[in-house]
Amino acid sequence: MQKLTNKEEEIMHILWKLKKAFVKEVQAEITDEQPHYNTLSTIIRNLEDKGFVAHQAFGNTHQYFPVVTLEAYRKQFMSTAIENYFNSSYKNMVSFFAEEEKISAKELREILDIIEKKQ
């Protein structure tokens, strides 16, 4: 699975949220600088070429929908990030977030509870 650009990820998050949408509906969801309709249409077609979305034709217009789930993309993205930035170590990743004070001791205990319940 290919890594998406920031703009492609933004569009995918909108499509995951909406489930299916026309380009104008995607455009309406963009909060910062809205790309021109044709630019957005090109980005979505690129996502289709990459295998992330498909479309249903309604005459000359297309309604797009994701074919890669958020969960599948998240799993691939996290695996790659952990491999590239934490030497494939989940312990290193959790330690990083603890040192940066992005995760609390309470949250770590909750994670331990989840792990222990699965064993």
- Of 27, 47, 66, the last residue of a domain is 66
Which residue from 51, 54, 97, 95 is spatially nearest to 76, judged by alpha carbons?
Answer: 51
Element (H, E) at 58: strand 53-58
Tell me, yes or no, whether 1 lies in a domain.
no
Residue 51 has a pLDDT of 96
| Total domains, the chain | 2
Residue 100 banded pLDDT, cuts 50, 70, 90: confident
CATH number of the domain encompassing residue 19 = 1.10.10.10
* Domain containing residue 56: 6-66
Which stretches of the chain are DSSP H helices?
6-18, 23-29, 37-49, 70-85, 90-99, 105-118
Which residue, 66, 88, 106, sits at the end of a domain? 66
pLDDT greater at residue 33 or residue 63: 63
Same domain, 84 and 48: no
Mean pLDDT value across residues 42-69: 96
pTM over 0.85? The answer is no
